Chain A
Amino acid sequence: MTTITPTTARPSQRTRPTSLSFGGVLRSEWIKLRSLRSTIWSYVILVVLSLGMALIMTLSYVSGGGPAGEADAAGLSSEAQAGLLVQASTFGAFFGQLVVAVLGVLVITGEYSTGMIRSTLAAVPNRLPALAAKAVVLFAVTFVMATISAVGAFFVASAVFADSGIGANLLDASVILRILGAGLYLALIALFALGVGTMLRSSAGGIATVVGVLLVLPLVLQMIPADWVQDVLPYVLPNAGHSLFADTSAAADAVPFWENLLIVLGWVGAPIVGAVVLLKRRDA
Chain B
Amino acid sequence: MPERSAIPSVASMITAEGLAKRYGAKTAVNDISFTVRPGQVTGFLGPNGAGKSTTMRMIVGLDRPSDGRVTVNGKPYAAHRAPLHEVGALLDAKAVHTGRSAFNHLLAMAATHGIGARRVHEVIELTGLESVARKRVGGFSLGMGQRLGIAAAMLGDPATLILDEPVNGLDPEGVLWVRQFVRHLASEGRTVFLSSHLMSEMAVTADHLIVLGRGEIIADAPVADIIAGGTRPRVRVRSPHASELADLLAAPEIAVVRSEAGVLEVTGVAASGIGDLAAEHGLAIHELTPQNASLEEAYMALTADSVEYRTEAVR
Contacts and interface: CB of A to CB of B under 8 A. Distances in A.
B176 interface: yes
Interface string B1-22: 1011000000000000000000
A125 B94 contact: no
A21 interface: yes
Given A1-B173, A125-B78, A31 B98 contact: no
Contact of B97 (A9, A114, A126): A114
B180 A4 contact: yes
Interface string A113-124: 011111101111
Nearest to A116: B97
A129 B147 CA distance: 28
Contacts of A122: 60-62, 83, 89, 91
Contacts of A77: none
A18 B184 contact: no
A111 interface: yes
B224 interface: no
A32 B83 contact: no
A2 B128 contact: yes
A114 B112 contact: no
A8 to B, nearest CB: 5
Interface string B203-237: 00000000000000000000000000000000000
Interface in B107-148: 107-109, 111-115, 118-119, 122, 125-126, 128, 143, 147
A116 B105 CA distance: 9
Interface in A183-204: none
B157 A24 contact: no
B101 interface: yes
Interface in A1-18: 1-4, 6, 8-14, 17-18
Interface in A121-157: 121-126
Interface stretch (A33-41, A78-86, A206-214): A33-41
Task: Among A18, A114, A122, find the residue whose CB has the most chain B CB atoms closer than 10 A.
Answer: A122
Interface in B63-93: 63-64, 77-78, 81-85, 89, 91-92
B198 interface: no
Given A3-B177, A119-B152, A31 B63 contact: no
B99 A19 contact: no
Nearest to A26: B111
Nearest to B88: A122
A227 interface: no
User: Is the interface on chain A under 10, 10 to 19, 20 to 34, or 35 or more residues?
Assistant: 35 or more
Contact of A114 (B1, B94, B104): B94
A273 interface: no
Interface string B143-184: 100010000101011000000000000000110110011001
Contact of A123 (B97, B98, B112, B157): B112
A36 B97 contact: yes
B96 to A, nearest CB: 6
A20 B96 contact: no
A163 interface: no
B188 interface: yes
A9 B188 contact: yes
Contacts of B109: 28, 119, 123
B111 A28 contact: yes
Given A32-B97, A35-B100, A114-B97, A283 B63 contact: yes
Contacts of B92: 115, 118
B95 interface: yes
Contacts of A278: none
A27 B115 CA distance: 11
B57 interface: yes
Nearest to B137: A114
B185 interface: yes
5 contacts: A18-B115, A20-B81, A20-B113, A115-B96, A284-B63
Interface of B: 1, 3-4, 57, 60-64, 77-78, 81-85, 89, 91-92, 94-101, 104-105, 107-109, 111-115, 118-119, 122, 125-126, 128, 143, 147, 152, 154, 156-157, 173-174, 176-177, 180-181, 184-185, 188
Return the 9 tightest CB-CB contacts between A and B, nearest first.
Answer: A125-B78, A19-B82, A35-B104, A18-B114, A28-B111, A116-B97, A31-B108, A27-B111, A115-B95
Given A20-B82, A31-B107, A32-B108, 7 more contacts: A6-B184, A18-B113, A20-B112, A23-B114, A32-B100, A123-B83, A125-B78
